[in-house]
Amino acid sequence: MIRLMTLLRLSLPPVAACLAVAAAAPAPAVAAVKTEAQAVAIVQKKLAATPELKARVKALKHPLIVRVEAKPGEQDGYYHVYAGENLPDHTARLWTFLVDPKTDEVKGYDPVMDETLTWKAFIAKVKAKEL
């Protein structure tokens, strides 16, 4: 029995050492958004991957335009990305998205309620035809 305990002590690191290694492990790398083009590409990818938004875009009579309206620091810490229908003489806003430059997380903006929404909450409002 003593031999088995000695063998176990030699082969297993102490619990404190395991916790120290786990705490010291680097967090997974998150892509930082460094340019307006990257912010636009992230929003376009989200639009294409979300069935509710993709269907609305497909139903447009004119092309969709996606562009950055404000960079981080101009209004707040986000890229403000405009998505709208590109009509012959003007554009008509469909949605505004906020892209976090540190995490590339995309949020929706509700202009009527003047609130920033998580992606899930934004899609729920689109489904309910509130946006």
* The predicted structure's pLDDT at residue 32: 84
Residue 31: band (very low, low, confident or very high) from pLDDT cuts 50, 70, 90:
low
> Which residue in this structure is represented by tokens 């989200």?
46
**Sign of the CA dihedral with 90 first, then 64, 93, and 31 last:** negative
Distance between CA atoms of 21 and 122, rounded to whole angstroms?
39
Domain count, the chain: 1
State the alpha helices, DSSP H only, in 12-130: 15-24, 36-49, 51-58, 119-127
User: Is residue 89 in some structural domain?
Assistant: yes
Tell me the per-residue pLDDT of 107-126, one tens digit each, with 9 for 90 and over: 999 988 999 999 999 999 99
Distance between CA atoms of 9 and 3, rounded to whole angstroms?
10
User: Is residue 79 in some structural domain?
Assistant: yes
**Sign of the CA dihedral with 57 first, then 94, 67, and 90 last:** positive
User: Is residue 5 in some structural domain?
Assistant: no
pTM of the entire predicted model: 0.75
User: Is residue 53 in some structural domain?
Assistant: yes
* The predicted structure's pLDDT at residue 72: 95
User: Is residue 14 in some structural domain?
Assistant: no
User: Is residue 28 in some structural domain?
Assistant: no
Tell me the per-residue pLDDT of 45-92, one tens digit each, with 9 for 90 and over: 999 999 999 999 999 999 999 999 999 999 999 999 999 999 999 999
- Which tokens in the block code for residue 76? 């707040």
**Residues 39, 30: contact at Cβ < 8 Å?**
no
User: Is residue 45 in some structural domain?
Assistant: yes
User: Is residue 58 in some structural domain?
Assistant: yes
Residue 108 belongs to domain spanning: 36-127
